[in-house]
A and B are shown apart, each in its own frame.
Chain A
């Protein structure tokens, strides 16, 4: 349930691993702001409509769903736990024990833990071990994880909406994680890659390094802001601003004297606006957004490891010249997100990077059907604990 679109997709789990998406429907959302519910009735209506069109177009009946959530109320912080090694070297049991310890972060009165993602280990004076130090000699084992938490009230609202639409909620996943798993190859997860999901109400970015997500953040700025800026700058309605954005907006200011004819203006039939002015408004917003992301990553100490490039997903990734702008601001190579081969079925869909979070959600849920790995799964939680 995004701020600009509500999407519903269903998939089958392939025997060899991966998913094949069988149905995908989307309709414009109402009642969401910055990825949070502000009007229950409107959001419920959007969700019911998208369920109906799935039933009608694909003859499929969703009953149990996974939800992708985002919003500026979602925060992440690193958590370290320590464990005295039971014998002289680290056993599998020790690793399971410390992972269990780190994953049992309690919910607080206000925050719900969405995910606990193990990022690295330490053993005595060794730091930054990205693989479990099994069979290594040492005394004190450390494990660092990234805890992702969300404000309970917002999660409850979105769950209530699903329940109102007669869907039972099986899992809740954070969009920053889902969008990443949908587009990142194993190599990119290793290399230090940033996934920026440019949503309608919020922008979520997640940094991956040595196979794990090490940092993520949500900014309450999205495509809605661009629309609003245009609407304010040229004193036009949000609907007009949205259609101008879709048709003419560019993230880079192009040197042009062209003017755009405004449609649907009451009174003055010849009203026009400068294309250059439009670009200036959009460029200022997107430039600021990328700058904030880079500054934040730099402050958190991740920018120097960002060597695998930047991947853009979400509706904003299709804004004209956005890749050039992101490359200029961040000084890294930038590409549009492509779904990984394990996610099939969306090959013919237009603008597939818009589906990254929802496709990633299905892929993550499919992993529950796979045989368990020897160690605990590296991602804990995910499932909503009511």
Chain B
């Protein structure tokens, strides 16, 4: 990456689990990655790795929220421009957070809201708590999903239960289960990062990703990895059985499919073709398909990894419109004393005729 033009895509971890996933991605990706960790707990500062922002310095004295989302929300509101210095030249932010506890649940919404006002496109990866963590956490997490979806352009909700295979969960210790979940998440995001940041023969650039994201809605996300001569068939089998790709709103059509194929120089054209057509056929034959490949012998020699994202259709999706309206009519609203009413990325507090660009008889 040319340092004169820093990457337009930023990886942002919020709260304890968000930060730890982002750190894992940074370690796995290895090179300079544009990333930022945000927490209310000074304990999670790690000087060697990525820039860290402590929220609510005065309010919480770096001791965390004690599981209170409202404290985290207030902490960000105290200074909602605190992240702005890190956002120069950023067009897309990938936000990673764990829902159910204080900072991840409370601050994420506020951060997304801020990014939204700045006109930055956002992709949210949020984990939902393990079922063994209890009802209270589940409720807290569930009740925060709606507001988060309002402000994120695209959101992916991943129940931690589904990130750990059944057989693994039976045998594993608590520590292992947590580690496996974090590992699965971070390796998925690392693959995504490789896909958009590394040039390939068929390229998906950060701007491609942003274009898909501005359509908004919910997305489903899965990855798979295999070796050997049958590797294409194997990854397809894993992906087609992945519960994460099947869940979601049945009535909503899949509008876009993003497929990333990451392999060594030995990637075969037939493998690309087989993967692309099988995934389309399995999930949504009529959806737009975006394919990217990365060939890197150092990293992926002999292996074949794929990243699949299915983007659910957003109805009334006039992405360009919502982008322009967001910027051009930023100050028209007179409902500034309460939260904006956002629907599919549009601020409904602004007059509809303006957003639809209707001309009035004068």
Contact = CB atoms under 8 A, between A and B. Distances in A.
A233 B351 contact: yes
A231 B360 CA distance: 14
Interface stretch (B28-36, B283-291, B329-337): B329-337
Interface stretch (A17-25, A89-97, A220-228): A220-228
Interface in B332-362: 332, 334-335, 337-339, 341, 343, 348-349, 351-354, 356, 358, 360-362
Contact of A106 (B139, B337, B360): B139
Contacts of A149: 143
Given A108-B136, A274-B361, A284-B358, A220 B352 contact: no
A285 interface: yes
Interface in B88-147: 135-136, 139-140, 142-143, 146
A229 interface: yes
Contacts of A33: 335, 337-338
Given A33-B337, A77-B142, A280-B360, A285 B135 contact: no
A34 interface: yes
The prevalent SS among residues of B at the interface is: loop
Contacts of A291: 316
A189 interface: no
Given A34-B341, A219-B341, A274 B362 contact: yes
Given A75-B143, A110-B143, A284 B352 contact: yes
Interface string B32-74: 0000000000000000000000000000000000011110000
A274 B360 contact: yes
Contacts of B252: 299
B172 interface: no
Contacts of A300: 251
B249 interface: yes
B250 to A, nearest CB: 8
A298 B360 contact: no
B268 interface: no
A36 B69 CA distance: 21
Interface in A38-77: 38, 72, 75, 77
B362 A36 contact: no
B139 A108 contact: yes
Interface string B135-172: 11001101100100000000000000000000000000
B185 to A, nearest CB: 25
Q: What is the interface residue range for chain B against chain A?
A: 35 or more
B348 A288 contact: yes
A330 interface: no
A219 B249 contact: no
Contact of B353 (A34, A105, A220, A233): A233
A232 B143 contact: no
Contact of A277 (B69, B135, B351, B360): B360
B315 interface: yes
Interface string B308-326: 0000000110000000000
A13 B291 CA distance: 67
A220 B351 CA distance: 13
Contacts of A224: 335
A38 B338 contact: yes
Interface in B209-231: none
Nearest to A238: B334
B325 to A, nearest CB: 12
A225 B349 contact: yes
Nearest to A107: B139
A281 interface: yes
A108 B140 contact: yes
Interface of B: 67-70, 135-136, 139-140, 142-143, 146, 249-252, 315-316, 332, 334-335, 337-339, 341, 343, 348-349, 351-354, 356, 358, 360-362
14 contacts: A108-B139, A109-B140, A220-B339, A225-B349, A228-B334, A277-B360, A280-B361, A281-B351, A281-B352, A284-B353, A295-B315, A299-B315, A300-B251, A301-B251
6 smallest beta-carbon distances between A and B, as pairs: A220-B341, A277-B360, A284-B352, A229-B351, A274-B361, A284-B353
